[in-house]
Structure 1
């Protein structure tokens, strides 16, 4: 950005804009997550696991943007709550697979609906083509950094 224009560098920097957009997307939704009795990371774990096969702890940590030791402790607590199931990976007994239980899916299901509605509300200022384009571009950026 041009310093003479009065705009700060961060106002046009992609990283800053992405953080602002992420904050806008989650600032009100986080209240609903907490009201359901979940932390933000528990929400991310259940949302990630609810519609797919079991993941290893390291895969799950990558998906929920957290460190593996943190996720290891977290999924143990979530297993104690009955929200996830832990089992040895049949291909490598040293690895643990994590899957959502029926109770975990029941807990997260209403939040998924609320998350979709909240996303629609946040993106209401964009046309449907812009929403699709935005998601495709963000996915492309995410893929490029893997």
Structure 2
């Protein structure tokens, strides 16, 4: 029997891997009381405090309207706070709080352990190559879509 198209279709394979491995980790997040969308927002703010909603939505991979609602929930939970921009009071930057950091830091350890188990069958060189190739594909696609600057320039 010949191989099916889907068995070699890169986008399906990427989606399948992402779904399979993410769900395993998302179970750990949920056990800690953190939804996957809130996780994405919190880790982005931990790495890059003071992001504006536009950049946060881009890097959390959600529509801005959804991120706005999630940020409001996180503010209510005292995990993040909003600060008015000194240059333009209409702009609001988002910052993770100490409470948010205390929640996220142990989860990062769990994420690292999970990633290590996912990549356990690969050599260190293969791991580096895999991540490098994925970054190259994402960067090339972004450039193709006229997104010139992939840096987090939309921060305070």
Taking structure 2 as the reference length, what is the TM-score of the superposition? Answer: 0.87
Q: Runs in 1 of length 4+ with deviation above 3 angstroms?
A: none
Q: Which residue of 1 aligns with 2:147?
A: none
Aligned equivalent of 2:108: 112
Report what 1:137 is aligned to.
133
Structure 1: tracts of 5 or more residues without a match: none
Which moved further from structure 2: 91-100 or 124-133?
Answer: 91-100
1:20 corresponds to: 16
Residue among 94, 97, 115 paired with 1:98: 94
Q: Is there any run of 5+ residues in structure 2 with no aligned partner, and where?
A: 143-156
Match of 2:42 among 34, 42, 46: 46
Shift of 1:13: 1.1
Larger RCO (CA under 8 A, 6+ residues apart): 2
1:62-77, aligned counterparts within 5 Å? Answer: 62-77=58-73
Q: Could you give the per-residue CA deviations for residues 47-95 of structure 1, whole angstroms, max 9, x where no partner exists?
A: 1111323100110000011000110111011011000011122233322
Residue 124 (structure 1) aligns with: 120
